[in-house]
Structure 1
Amino acid sequence: MGLTLANWSAFVLTCAAIELTPGPNMGYLAIVGAVDGRRSGYAAVAGVALGLALVGIAAALGLAAVINASPLLFQMLRWTGVAYLLWLAWDGWRDATEGVAAIPGGTTWLRYFRRGLITNLLNPKAAVFYVAMLPGFVVPGTAVLPQTLILSVTFVVIATAIHLSIVSLAGAARPVLEDPRRSRIVRRVLSVALALIALWFAVDTAT
């Protein structure tokens, strides 16, 4: 006997509650959706989803447990993630100051896809989530790998659905930002907000 419906349903509710709690992904995606539009936001969501999926596969194979057991590796990932978020904040401030040059659509999407992917690969909390949460929903005495993969896919689907909703709602504010002066002000404010998110992430992931 493998994963039960009761275990899976409880996991779904847990994931939804966790993903609806404000965090770095939610803040970053809301900023992208509001400032750069839904298409860029959706590209970032795709990158986030791939990052979460890769971390989930790594957790299923045991790599995440190694990261969780190594304080040095955890701290390296943690501070690299903080630095990357701060760089994104600086990049947004620079764009607001200098003006954003026109970039072909595909390049823009790839840019945000890559950022979403890197942000999650450098987030040690994602690995810790899989290591800390998944075992509690796995049925003991049965094949662990299939159950872990099912739960990982479930988490990615739920997270992606919530992230898409965030980008769609934030994108509704896009028409308000078409004025260059207003857009510049909002970009600077949101860049500061992203820097604060980075600092919050540093405190929240402290061990």
Structure 2
Amino acid sequence: MLALFFTAAVLGLIFNAAPGAVFAETVREGVRGGFRSALAVQVGSLVGDATWAILGLAGVGLLLQMQALQLPIGIAGTAYLLWLSWDSWSAASQEFVIEGANSHADTRRALRSGVLLSITNPQNVAYWAALGSAMGAVGVAEPTLTHYSLFFAGFMASSLVWCVVCASIVDRVFRNTGQRWARLTYRLCAIAFLLLALSSIKNLLQPAIAGAPPSEQVQAPEVSRGN
């Protein structure tokens, strides 16, 4: 049981530490709002992670892998990434206060961004669907509710630790950042969001290749949270 918990914790750390949209948004919010805003993005992303985790470990993820459901999720995620790219690039041209912007509205916005990025990430669907059906790989031949609960607890425990660590790093790195570097960071985040959106579009178009023999069909990319 203890081995299952620590295995889940390690997987959670790897899952969350992978750079991607959530990390880019954490940096973007952290530049302006510091630790609280950066932490809000990370915690918000856990809401989506927990949702997909529960569905995946319960076996419902196998159903959610159906193309009919992945497509609208992917489209929504791509649209949100494009909006974040535009918003970040536009904000880089405006005057804004670094630090001191930790109002409730800023924190709620950061929290909402984290939730939306996680909920609309189609890779999370495939990740948890596969993991929910692969408990045997960690030595559990016939998983029970206790096994699933323990795995979920280990995963979320390491995820919460990573939230604090990531927000702290972002806060320290950008705490004394001037306007010039803040603008550059916003533009870099905008480019990152755009590239992630283009990558999502590419992944959405891949299943559209029809008529090819199974051996010639494009294999699904390795799944990661994209943090």
TM-score by length of 2: 0.75
Which residue does 2:155 correspond to in 1? 155
- Residue 51 of structure 2 aligns to which amino acid in structure 1? L
CA distance in 2, matches of 1:58, 1:142: 15
Which residue does 2:172 correspond to in 1? 172
Which residue does 2:124 correspond to in 1? 126
Which residue does 1:23 correspond to in 2? 20
* Native 8 Å contact 1:31 1:190 kept in 2: yes
SS in 2 for 1:98: coil
CA distance in 1, matches of 2:118, 2:107: 17
* Native 8 Å contact 1:134 1:151 kept in 2: no
Which residue does 2:114 correspond to in 1? 116
Identity, % of aligned positions: 21
CA distance in 2, matches of 1:80, 1:48: 16
Which residue does 2:213 correspond to in 1? none
Paired residues in the alignment total 201
* Native 8 Å contact 1:30 1:166 kept in 2: no
Mapping 1:40-79, distance limit 5 Å: 40-68=37-65, 70-79=66-75
CA distance in 2, matches of 1:195, 1:108: 23
Question: Gapped runs of 5+ residues in structure 1?
Answer: none
Pairing 1:39–2:36 present: yes
CA distance in 2, matches of 1:27, 1:124: 18
C-alpha deviations, 1:101-159, integer Å up to 9, x for none?
Answer: 8977001100110110111111122222222123323523352x342233223222222
Pairing 1:9–2:10 present: no
Which residue does 2:141 correspond to in 1? 140
Structure 1 residue 17 displacement after superposition = 3.0
Identify if the C-alpha distance between structure 1 residues 149 and 167 changes in structure 2 by more than 3 Å, giving closer, same or farther: same
Pairing 1:82–2:78 present: yes
Structure 1 residue 92 displacement after superposition = 1.4
Question: Gapped runs of 5+ residues in structure 2?
Answer: 207-219, 221-227
TM-score by length of 1: 0.81
